[in-house]
Amino acid sequence: MSQTLYRKYRPQKFEDVIGQEHIKLTLQNEILNDKIAHAYLFSGPRGIGKTTLARVFAKAINCEKRSAFEPCNECDSCNSITEGNNLDLIEIDAASNRGINEIRELREFVKYAPSKNKYKVFIIDEAHMLTIEAFNALLKTLEEPPKHAVFILATTEVHKFPQTIISRCQKFDFKTVDIEKLKNHLKNVCLKEKIQVDVSIIDKIARRSGGYVRDALSTLGQILSLSEDGEVGRETADLILPDSDFAPIIELVDSLAMNQFENSIKVINNLVIDGIDLNYFTEELINYLRKIVLIKITGASEKYLWDVERHIEEKIIEQSEKYNLNIWNLILKEFITAFENLKNDRFKQLPLEMAIISIKTFLEKPISVANIEFGLKKNFKAENNYLKNQEPQKKSEENISKYTLKAQISDIVKIWPQLLLNLKDYNHSLSAFLKVGHPLRIEGNKLIIGFEFKFHKDRILEASHKKNIEEVMSGILNEKVIIDSELDENYKENRNAVSGAIYETISNENDETINNLIDELGGEVVS
C-alpha cells in the first residue's frame, strides 16, 4: 500500500464521515440555506475527523456542480482540494506558525479575493498553539472578515482559547466514534483492500482505539501489511496487537475480592522481581478499578469498557459484584494514594503494600469504635429496658423473611456510628437524615429504624435512599440487610439508650476517630 489507510480512505463527502451527526446536520443546513458563517471552531480529541470535516465543508461551499449539500468530487474545485493544490484552501499548522508575524501575514492575505472559488477558506490546525499576541492579531480579522473569507479553527485543547475568540465562532464539539460504527468502518476498509480479517481482530482494534478513527486505521494498516494470500489470522494480528497484559491486575483484584491479601502482596513483589514499572502498573490498575466503580454507579455500560477486550470486560463486570460501591470506592482511593507516593527507589513497592494492608484492615475490622457490651455498663439507663423489650413483634409468617440476620440489635448499635460516617461520603444529606434515627429492632433480615417524625421516616424509605443505606450497611456487616422504619412512641428514651451505650464506652478514649464519631452522632462527653 502506497498510502496509510487513514489517508487513503479519508472521507471526501459528508456521508463518508463516521459519526458527528449533530455537526454534519448543522453544516449541511447552512449550505442548503446559503447561510455560511465567517468562523467555525472545531474542538475535540485527536483523530476523529475535525480537519477532514473542515475540508469536506470547504469543498462543498466551493463546489461548482453541487447538488443539495454534498460536493460533486468531479469539478475542478473539488479535484484540486482533494489533490491538495487548491489556491483558495489555505491550511496552516499553528504548532509551527504560532507567532504574531505569521498571523499578520495571514491578515494581509485574507484581504485578497479568491483566485477562482466563491470562498477563500482558512483551516488553522492545532489553533490552541497560537500565542496570545497571535490570537489578538487574529481577533480583528474574525470580528470584521471579508465576505469571501471563512475561518475554521481546529483544536484538541479548546480550554486554551481566549473567550474573545470563542465568542466570534460557531463552536462544534466533536466526540469519539461509537464502537459499532467504527467496527463497521474497519470491515468496509478490509473489503475494499480485499483482505479477509477475523471479526475478533476487528473488535479488538476498535476497542483498543478508544473511538479514535485515525488510531484504529493506523493499527489496521500495520496488521494488513502482514497479510498473506489476502487473509490475516489471529496469530499474525497478535504480532502487532498482542493481548493486553491484564493478568497481574486481574490476579491482584481477584485476591482482594476473595480476601486473599497474602497473595495480593505476592503479586506486587513478583512485579518488582520481574522488573515491571510499578508506576505504569499502578496507573493501569487505577483505570481498571475506575471501570469497576463506574459499573457500580451506571451499570455495565460498554462506553466505559470499550478500550479493553471483551473477555476483560466480562471479568471486570464479574469482579464488580464482589463488593458494594462503597468498598470499591475505598479500594480505588487507596491505590490512588499509593500511586502518588511511588517515590522511594529502595522500597518502591511499599506504598502498594500499605494500600493492601489498609484495605485488609478496613474489610476485616470495618468498625473503628471500641467493643461495646450493650446494656451492661453501670451508667447505662437500664430503666428504659431498651434491650429487654426489643424482641421482634409477632408478625404473620408471610411478612417475615425466611432469612434471619446473624447480627443482633447490639451489633447494629455498635456499627451505627460507622454507618453514618460511610454514608456521609456516599450521600451527605442521607447521613444527616439517618442521624436522627436509631436501630429499634430486627425482624428476620429486616432492620427497623425508629424516628420521631413522619417526615424523616418517609424520606429514609424513598427508593434511592433505602437502597443506599442497605448497600452500605450490608457491606459493613458482610450480610444482606433490608431496612424499614416506623415512628417510635418512646423515641427520646430509646435514642438516649443507644447514645448512652456508645458514649459510655468511648468517652474516655483519647482518639481522634472516636471523637469524630461522637461529633457525628451529635453528642458530647459528660462526666
DSSP 44-55: -STTSSHHHHHH
Same domain for 326 and 267: yes
Q: C-alpha grid cell for residue 467?
A: 437502597
Same domain for 148 and 189: no
Of the candidates 253, 418, 265, which has an alpha carbon nearest to the alpha carbon of residue 328?
253
- Strand (E) or helix (H) holding 93: strand 89-93
Look at strands 446-451 and 438-443 and give their pairing: antiparallel
Domain boundary among the residues 173, 192, 208 is at: 173
Q: Is residue 525 part of a domain?
A: no
CATH code for the domain in which residue 421 is found = 3.30.300.180
Average pLDDT over residues 460-475: 86
- Cell 492579531 belongs to 137
Sheet with 438-443: list strands edge to edge.
438-443, 446-451, 482-487
Same domain for 502 and 407: yes
- Cell 498553539 belongs to 129
The answer on pLDDT for 264 being more than 50 is yes
- Strand (E) or helix (H) holding 449: strand 446-451
Report the range of poorest mean pLDDT among 133-147, 185-199, 410-424, 453-467.
410-424
- Confirm if 363 and 257 have CB atoms less than 8 A apart: no
Q: Is residue 359 part of a domain?
A: yes
Residue range of the domain that includes 83:
5-173
- Confirm if 278 and 348 have CB atoms less than 8 A apart: yes
- Confirm if 237 and 301 have CB atoms less than 8 A apart: no
Average pLDDT over residues 202-219: 87
- Burial readout 59-90 (b: 16 or more C-beta within 10 A, e: otherwise): bbbbbeebeebbbbbebebbebbeeeebebbb
Sheet with 120-125: list strands edge to edge.
89-93, 120-125, 149-155, 39-43, 170-173
Provide the pLDDT for residue 282. 92
Same domain for 267 and 136: no
Same domain for 90 and 12: yes
The one-letter amino acid code at 440 reads L
Look at strands 446-451 and 89-93 and give their pairing: unpaired
Measured CA to CA, the distance from residue 203 to residue 210 in angstroms comes to 11
Query: To the nearest whole number, what is the mean pLDDT of the chain?
Result: 81
Provide the pLDDT for residue 11. 92
Same domain for 411 and 487: yes
The answer on pLDDT for 269 being more than 60 is yes
SS3 65: coil
- Burial readout 446-464 (b: 16 or more C-beta within 10 A, e: otherwise): bbbbbbbeeebbebbeeee
**Angle, alpha carbons 31-35-40 (nearest 5°):** 85
Average pLDDT over residues 459-465: 86
Start-end of H helices in 89-178: 100-110, 132-143, 163-166
- Confirm if 45 and 174 have CB atoms less than 8 A apart: yes
Provide the pLDDT for residue 140. 83
The answer on pLDDT for 354 being more than 80 is yes
Q: How far apart are the first and last CA of the chain?
A: 86
Same domain for 503 and 412: yes
Nearest 10 degrees: Cα torsion 6, 9, 12, 17: -70
Report the range of poorest mean pLDDT among 127-141, 170-184, 412-426, 431-445.
412-426
How many domains, in total, are found in the chain? 4
Q: Is residue 527 part of a domain?
A: no
Same domain for 503 and 404: yes
What sign does the CA torsion over 212, 216, 217, 222 have? positive
Measured CA to CA, the distance from residue 310 to residue 298 in angstroms comes to 18
Same domain for 124 and 78: yes
Instruction: Give me the percent of the chain exceeding a pLDDT of 70.
Output: 83
How does residue 377 score in pLDDT terms, banded at 50, 70 and 90?
A: very low
Q: pTM of the predicted model, to two decimals?
A: 0.60
Provide the pLDDT for residue 501. 60
Residues 6+ apart with CB under 8 A from 409: 374, 387, 390, 439, 441, 442
- Strand (E) or helix (H) holding 170: strand 170-173
Measured CA to CA, the distance from residue 329 to residue 321 in angstroms comes to 13
- Paired with 158 in beta bridges are none
Start-end of H helices in 144-246: 163-166, 179-193, 199-209, 213-224, 234-240
Provide the pLDDT for residue 158. 92
CATH code for the domain in which residue 29 is found = 3.40.50.300
The answer on pLDDT for 327 being more than 80 is yes
* pLDDT tens profile 29-66: 999 999 999 999 999 998 999 999 999 999 999 998 88
Same domain for 437 and 386: yes
Same domain for 145 and 79: yes
Q: Is residue 375 part of a domain?
A: no
CATH code for the domain in which residue 360 is found = 1.20.272.10
Same domain for 156 and 32: yes
- Burial readout 228-259 (b: 16 or more C-beta within 10 A, e: otherwise): eeeebeeebbeebbeeeebebbbbbbbbbbee
For 279-367, list the strands marked E by DSSP. Answer: none
Q: C-alpha grid cell for residue 521?
A: 452522632
DSSP at 153: E
Q: Is residue 131 part of a domain?
A: yes
How does residue 300 score in pLDDT terms, banded at 50, 70 and 90?
A: low
* pLDDT tens profile 68-122: 899 999 999 999 999 989 999 999 999 888 888 888 888 888 988 998 899 999 9
- Confirm if 487 and 450 have CB atoms less than 8 A apart: yes
CATH code for the domain in which residue 194 is found = 1.10.8
How does residue 201 score in pLDDT terms, banded at 50, 70 and 90?
A: confident
- Confirm if 409 and 449 have CB atoms less than 8 A apart: no
SS3 182: helix
Of the candidates 223, 198, 195, 196, which has an alpha carbon nearest to the alpha carbon of residue 209?
223
Provide the pLDDT for residue 1. 43
Q: Is residue 377 part of a domain?
A: no
- Paired with 196 in beta bridges are 231
Provide the pLDDT for residue 368. 36
